[in-house]
Amino acid sequence: AAAVVAAVLGALTACTAPENGDAVTGIVPAPTSAEYPDAAPFRLDASSRVVASGAGAAAVAELFAEQARRATGFELPVVDGEAAASDLSFVVAAGSGPDGAEEGYTLEAGADGVRIAADTAAGLFRGTQSLRQLLPPAIERTDAAGGEPDGGWTVPAASVADAPRFAYRGAMLDVARHFFPVEDVLAYLDAMALVKLNVLHLHLTDDQGWRLQIDAWPELTGIGASTSVGGDGGGFYTKDDYRRIVDHAAERFITIVPEVDLPGHTNAALSAYPELNCDGMAPEPYEGTEVGFSSLCAAPSRAEVTDRFLADVTREVAELTPGPWLHLGGDESLSTSTEDYLDLVRRIAAAGAATGKTVIGWHEMGASRELPPGTIGQYWSFVEPEDDAAAQARSFVEQGGRVIMSPADVAYLDMEYVDDPQGPLGGRLGLDWAKGPTSLDEAFKWDPAAVVPGIGDDELLGVEAPLWTETIRAHSELEFMAFPRILAIAEVAWSPRPAGGDGVRGDADIPEFFGRVAAVGQHLDALDVAYHPVRGVPWA
Ligand code: TNX
């Protein structure tokens, strides 16, 4: 299989660079193997049906058909039985994906039909996202008024066998610095699904706002949710709002990871409850962008109230979380003494583990040697590790856990673009502290297993692209910062490392990748995603 992969990737990279307007067949993230034989395409027409078989296949088929019906105007019934040449066949059956890989699938397309097969419904869903990219971009339309695209609703003859490199392929949205309503989060989930990301980490609390209803501590979303950065107004999710997000994600086989950032980044909570403060005085709500000034209180006189707060919050958040993970922060607690930090982290992580969830923490939490076994670390230093970051990341592995890679100089979607453009609402967006602006090339040319010595594929849970929102106030601005760089991160997280060279993506891999980015760009156009048309990509 490795030889086939090498041959296919070799052939792909040998392609000449696509130019503006060239039709590119291709999928982001690049599949493990994909061949496009010179043969007749598949044609979706008014007689086409989606034939679904196996556990969970009908729901995946229905989600695909719903969108395809809107765009084509075809009836596209979801049925079971025998597939005809004009049908799509969606199969979930043990042993039908490549090597039984979790989330793997095979896709065959040609004049005699399209067949996607997978071991799991999740794998089948990932396969439908490849199919979506192989169809004309008009498949993203919300109504059929535009008629048939030139050439019809065709899928090129294709033979794809695919499975992800990493199990955890995430994006993070900071809804604390600025609040984003449910609809914005649902739209972000839809766009994530297109590139096979499977985790949305929601940064729900910070100094500037607490964004999730907690019944036992109602002022968290009273006083605590009234502000945001720059006086742009507050907001929070009720439990029903939050369930809508979780459900929409689950339909797309995306897991929501809630983050409550502790013990620093807690001014919103401290402003809502004086008793959480060592001096018993509630600070004012905060609308600036400094970090590292707030902390829960480690003093014995506050032990009862603080532990009750930790138990209530982790319990209520866990109850809303069908997924296995609870992110409890731990970053930048710069006003907490080392002794207090270690004491608080032990209590915070224990409260999280008591809910039955696996705790995730930013890499600083690795300073603690008393983490619950299996705690996951999220690395956010640079591709060249600074200070104690590498040792702190390895500490999670030493305590039985694994690591999520989010190097800030390549994976942070809130860093400025290199050409420093105006965002959709006119302002300059983003920060530059992580080694300056970040280009699409830089987001692509790194390998997660080459960042921290001793943390290779086996020690990695996966990769995540965080989007912090100090400078970002609107949904179009989120999209502008995330797209197209999130495509690079999705490729790093899903696709095999390049077979040639030292296994790290390099300049030679850029033209082929940019060609596929342009192809996905046409789908983003049809979806009205406000991406930044980065120079160098042969946009249509
Ligand atoms: C660092 S990354 C932070 C956040 C900021 C971000 C801005 C991390 C764990 N903490 O509090 O929003 O930089 O890029």
| Domains contained in the chain, CATH given | 38-162 (3.30.379.10), 168-356+406-437+462-498 (3.20.20.80)
Which atom of ligand 1 is nearest to 289's Cα? 12
Q: What pLDDT, on the 0 to 100 scale, is given for residue 13?
A: 40
Q: How far is the CA of 466 from the centre of ligand 1 (A)?
A: 9
**493 secondary structure, DSSP code:** H
Residue pair 224/208 in contact by the 8 Å Cβ criterion? no
Q: In angstroms, how far is CA 115 from the centroid of its own chain?
A: 27
Catalytic member of 332, 398, 470, 477: 332
Which atom of ligand 1 is nearest to 469's Cα? 12
Tell me the pLDDT tens digit for each residue of 465-475. 999 999 999 99
Mutate to test the pocket of ligand 1, among 173, 262, 332 (most ligand atoms within 8 A of CB): 332
Residue pair 443/464 in contact by the 8 Å Cβ criterion? no
Q: Which two tokens stand for residue 119?
A: 């071991």
Give yes or no: 102 in active site.
no
For the beta carbon of residue 209, count every other beta carbon within 10 angstroms: 30
Q: Is the peptide bond before 29 cis (omega within 30 degrees of 0)?
A: yes
Grouping H, G, I as helix, E, B as strand and the rest as coil, residue 78 is strand
Q: How far is the CA of 468 from the centre of ligand 1 (A)?
A: 7
Q: How far is the CA of 527 from the centre of ligand 1 (A)?
A: 29
Q: Count CA within 13 A, CB hemisphere, residue 367.
A: 19
Which residues pair with residue 35 across a beta bridge? 159
Q: Establish whether residue 291 lines the binding site of ligand 1, counting it when its CB lies within 6 angstroms of any ligand atom.
A: yes
Nearest alpha carbon, ligand 1 atom 5: 468
Q: What pLDDT, on the 0 to 100 scale, is given for residue 500?
A: 65
Cα 430 to Cα 408: distance, rounded to the nearest angstrom: 13
Q: What pLDDT, on the 0 to 100 scale, is given for residue 501?
A: 66
Q: Which two tokens stand for residue 103?
A: 């989330």
Q: How far is the CA of 291 from the centre of ligand 1 (A)?
A: 8
Mutate to test the pocket of ligand 1, among 328, 468, 469, 485 (most ligand atoms within 8 A of CB): 468
- Expressed in percent and rounded to 5, the helix, strand and coil fractions of the chain are 40, 15, 45
Comparing CA positions, the residue from 212, 207, 223 lying closest to residue 180 is 212
Which atom of ligand 1 is nearest to 466's Cα? 2
Nearest alpha carbon, ligand 1 atom 12: 468
Residue pair 306/296 in contact by the 8 Å Cβ criterion? yes
One-letter amino acid of 428:
R
Q: pTM of this prediction?
A: 0.95
**428 secondary structure, DSSP code:** B
Cα 132 to Cα 161: distance, rounded to the nearest angstrom: 16
Exposed/middle/buried for 208, CB within 10 Å: 0-12, 13-18, 19+?
buried
Which pLDDT band holds residue 97 (cuts at 50, 70, 90)?
confident
Q: Establish whether residue 441 lines the binding site of ligand 1, counting it when its CB lies within 6 angstroms of any ligand atom.
A: no
Handedness of CA 61, 67, 69, 71 (dihedral sign): negative
Q: Establish whether residue 431 lines the binding site of ligand 1, counting it when its CB lies within 6 angstroms of any ligand atom.
A: yes
Backbone angles phi, psi at 34, to 5 degrees: -150, 125
Nearest alpha carbon, ligand 1 atom 10: 331
Query: Which residues are CB-contacts of 503 (< 8 A; sequence separation ≥ 6)?
Result: 447, 450, 497
Comparing CA positions, the residue from 530, 350, 378, 400 lying closest to residue 448 is 378
Q: What pLDDT, on the 0 to 100 scale, is given for residue 24?
A: 60
Q: Count CA within 13 A, CB hemisphere, residue 456.
A: 4
Q: Establish whether residue 331 lines the binding site of ligand 1, counting it when its CB lies within 6 angstroms of any ligand atom.
A: yes
Q: How far is the CA of 469 from the centre of ligand 1 (A)?
A: 9
Nearest alpha carbon, ligand 1 atom 2: 380
Q: In angstroms, how far is CA 139 from the centroid of its own chain?
A: 23
> In this model, does residue 18 exceed pLDDT 60?
no
Q: Establish whether residue 153 lines the binding site of ligand 1, counting it when its CB lies within 6 angstroms of any ligand atom.
A: no
Tell me the pLDDT tens digit for each residue of 242-286. 999 999 999 999 999 999 999 999 999 999 999 999 999 999 999
ipTM of this complex prediction, to 2 decimal places = 0.95
Q: What pLDDT, on the 0 to 100 scale, is given for residue 463?
A: 98
Nearest alpha carbon, ligand 1 atom 7: 468
Tell me the pLDDT tens digit for each residue of 488-533. 999 999 999 876 667 789 999 999 999 999 999 999 999 999 999 9
